[in-house]
Amino acid sequence: MVAELGQYLHAIGTDSNSSMEPQSIKAIYIEPIKGQRTGHRVLNLNTKKMISQPKVVVLPVTDQVIQRVEAWAAAEDDMEQGYLEEAFDQDYEPED
């Protein structure tokens, strides 16, 4: 296993064009992708969306990451169901 649920990491894409887009994305690990498409499902810390990336590199979690996720969780207290709950739900099926 490359990473465990909830670990902080950089998700690395395969796009190697010369655009100014970041080559790695700060994210929280959710699960491996099984089937024809291999890779990893992660929670993008910039967009708060679930994405799939082919490679991940686990990093030590920083205080800034912890504070960001805790702030999201606190903001969700008034919501019926939010992205963090669905991100960590093992039975969640993304809409493609």
User: Which two structure tokens, joined as six digits, stand for 9?
Assistant: 């990491």
Report field, pTM of the whole predicted structure over 0.75: no
Q: What is the pLDDT of residue 57?
A: 94
The model's pLDDT over 38-90, given as tens digits with 9 standing for 90+, comes to 889 999 999 999 999 999 999 999 999 988 888 888 887 655 555 555 555 55
